[in-house]
Homo-oligomer: A and B are copies of this chain.
Amino acid sequence: MKALLIIAHGSRRHQSNDEVTNIAKQIRTCEEHDFDIVESAFLELAETLIPTGIERCIKSGAKEIIVVPYFLNSGTHVTKDIPEIISAQKSLYPDINITLTRHLGASPVMLDLILQTASDTVIN
């Protein structure tokens, strides 16, 4: 089974965390992907933390976990903190294939997202 784990920074503001959890829920219910499991987790300040998110995916039967950092910029969290946590998780679960992707801000689709957001509002 294959899992998608979306990692956000985490906020003291519950609503911000709920937005991330809701994105995971929306992806879970849409059918345009081949993930059997979709979870979200946070680097800090909010539950679920990353190790618990990984554990949850594995308990749900995941043999492969794709971890996507929900971050716009390549700061220390993206370049150092998250890779270190994921590396430790890989050592902990050597039989599980855990892959860390680039952060969202590095995607070429980001340009489309900005233009789409700009044009949506002009229409409305």
Shortest A68–chain B CB gap in Å is: 5
Inter-chain CA distance A71–B73, complex, in Å, is 10
User: How many copies altogether?
Assistant: 2
Query: From A76, which residue of chain B is reached at the shortest CB distance?
Result: B13
> Are B16 and A74 closer than 8 Å at their CB atoms?
yes
What are 17 A-B contacts with C-beta separation under 8 Å?
A4-B118, A8-B72, A11-B75, A16-B74, A19-B72, A19-B74, A23-B111, A27-B114, A30-B111, A66-B118, A68-B114, A100-B121, A101-B117, A101-B118, A102-B117, A103-B117, A107-B117
Which residues of A are at the interface with B, using a C-beta cutoff of 8 A?
Answer: 4, 6, 8, 11, 13, 15-16, 19-20, 23, 26-27, 30, 32-33, 35, 66, 68, 70-75, 99-105, 107, 109-122
Which 4 pairs across A and B sit closest by C-beta, in order of nearness? A101-B121, A16-B73, A66-B118, A109-B113
